[in-house]
Amino acid sequence: MESFLDGFRVWLDLSGFQYTHHQDSGFESYVIRFDMGKKFNYHVGKYLQFLVVEDLRAKDVHIEITDFTVMFRFKRE
- Check: CB of residue 49 under 8 Å from CB of residue 74: no
The ranges of the chain with pLDDT < 70 are none
Strands in 59-65's sheet, in edge-to-edge order, are 18-24, 27-33, 69-75, 59-65
What pLDDT does residue 50 have? 82
Q: Give the count of beta carbons closer than 10 Å to the beta carbon of residue 68.
A: 14
Name the pTM for this structure: 0.82
What pLDDT does residue 22 have? 94
As separate numbers, helices (DSSP H) first and strands (DSSP E) second, the chain gives 2, 4
2-75 under CATH 3.30.1710, yes or no: yes
Distance CA 4, CA 52 (A): 9
What pLDDT does residue 76 have? 79
